[in-house]
Structure 1
Amino acid sequence: MVKELFPIAPGPAEDARRSLPLYRDIAWDRERNAPRWQDGEPVFAEGLEAVLTWAVNAVGTARYRWEQFSPDYGCSLAALTGQPYGEDTKLAEAERYVREALMVSPYITGVRVSGTAFSGGRFSMDLKLETIYGEVSFDV
């Protein structure tokens, strides 16, 4: 019989790590915005780097625009263009769209947003992803 009121149990990230296969994806060169190649073959990334690649591409892909992607993949940020919303509303909606795009992945357990801004018609946002492999930051 357990004598503790709250016995120690694995958390959601530990359960997910046990049940999900190691995530693999094509490695991505973010400066060139293109996949990495070596000797004519694609380079693969695993774990945290692969999840980051997926996240960057998911946020950068317009949702519902491309037939080859499921309706769950991509981000709806383009829907804010030309809308008569105030800046606060646009920032809140942009944050929501990015969270929705990223939380589709079972490898991502949380998204923290900071530094959102519209400047000269450009949108920027700093993100910290909590994944089953650890945390990683990137900007949109």
Structure 2
Amino acid sequence: MSTIFPAVQPEMEETTSALPLAQEVKWGYQAGTPVFSAGAPVIVTGAEAVKVWCWKALKTPRYRHDVYSWAYGSEAEDLIGQAFTADVKRSEAIRHVREALLVSPYVTGVGEISVEFTGDRLMVQCSVSTVYGEVDLNV
């Protein structure tokens, strides 16, 4: 049976846009502040830059600051005061970590995530696969 609509589809044009080299200001994780040298911020690139981005994304509450897009940050703070069981809180924290990190085009995957609740603090340890290799993250 013939049809008036041709079966030929137009060819899609292949576009491969390479990501620019990731750059961030070096971060002092213990102090939670940027690192400066001679009055100027120290710039890191590659895997270390992605690690800084991930650390800051997990520390930043999503939807709170107008300077960030709504895709940036973590919703783990929403677990505070919820009457969930420990297993549900752990599961939700892991989900929030994955969602926060996988927004970045430089992050290709998130490995085993370990979460620990100590009082009102959430401690996260995980390995993050980036386009530059794997980094370990402790937040």
TM-score, normalized by length of structure 1?
Answer: 0.83
Whole-angstrom distance in 1 between the partners of 2:68 and 2:121 = 26
Question: After superposition, what is the alpha-carbon deviation per residue over 1:42-77, rounded to whole angstroms, capped at 9, x for unaligned?
Answer: 110000010000000000000001111110000001
Q: Is the 8 A contact 1:117 1:124 kept in 2?
A: yes
Query: In the alignment, what sits opposite 1:33?
Result: 32
Q: Is the 8 A contact 1:129 1:135 kept in 2?
A: yes
Q: Which has the higher helix share?
A: 1
Amino acid at match of 2:73: G
Whole-angstrom distance in 1 between the partners of 2:25 and 2:67 = 17
Gaps of 5+ in 1: 1-15
Question: After superposition, what is the alpha-carbon deviation per residue over 1:64-122, rounded to whole angstroms, capped at 9, x for unaligned?
Answer: 01111110000001100001111111100000001000000000000013332223333
Query: In the alignment, what sits opposite 1:7?
Result: none
Query: In the alignment, what sits opposite 1:137?
Result: 136
TM-score, normalized by length of structure 2?
Answer: 0.84
Matches within 5 A, 1:84-99: 84-99=83-98
Matches within 5 A, 1:1-140: 19-140=18-139
Gaps of 5+ in 2: 1-15
Question: After superposition, what is the alpha-carbon deviation per residue over 1:10-52, rounded to whole angstroms, capped at 9, x for unaligned?
Answer: xxxxxx8x71111111111112111111111111000001000
Identity %: 40
Q: Is the 8 A contact 1:95 1:113 kept in 2?
A: no
Whole-angstrom distance in 1 between the partners of 2:115 and 2:79 = 14
Amino acid at match of 1:33: G
Whole-angstrom distance in 1 between the partners of 2:118 and 2:43 = 35
Please give the secondary structure, in 2, of the residue aligned with 1:83: coil
Please give the secondary structure, in 1, of the residue aligned with 2:104: coil
Whole-angstrom distance in 1 between the partners of 2:71 and 2:77 = 16
RMSD value, Cα: 1.4
